[in-house]
Amino acid sequence: MSTNNSKNNKTVVAETPNKGRGRNLTAYELETVINFNKGSPDAEIFTYEKTWQKHLEQKLGLKPTMDNGYGGKGYKLPKGLIHMPRAKMKVSEKRLISLNKALMVARQKRLGAVET
């Protein structure tokens, strides 16, 4: 359970009273939350997703700032490490044909170089 404390804009993850008994969470409850406040230089990520955790720890070298004991971990990282999503480029049919031809030529050159 997470709450937003408006006084300091920090996300607080409350521990459940059944911590020692274990807990089976549904897929819907295994959430990933990215807190990207304008007033803070850092972003916060809380996730149950093992793929995200592996990426944050192994690829970005981050250490968890919290562990809720049920598989969820929290991380703090500079906002610069998170890239804003971009709209997909619109490519004309003419440009697609040109790119395909260039790709075919590059592949043929590479295969030709391998054979000789």
Is the pLDDT confidence value at 102 over 60? yes
Model pTM?
Answer: 0.56
8 A C-beta contact, residue 73 and residue 66: yes
Is the pLDDT confidence value at 16 over 80? no
pLDDT at 53: 95
pLDDT at 93: 94
Q: Name the residue ranges covered by the structural domains of the chain.
A: 2-81
38-86 pLDDT, tens digit per residue, is: 999 999 999 999 999 999 999 999 999 999 988 999 999 999 888 888 8
Instruction: Return the amino acid letter for 42.
Output: D
Q: Supply 64's token pair.
A: 């968890």
pLDDT at 17: 42
8 A C-beta contact, residue 76 and residue 65: yes
pLDDT at 52: 92
Q: Supply 88's token pair.
A: 């997909």
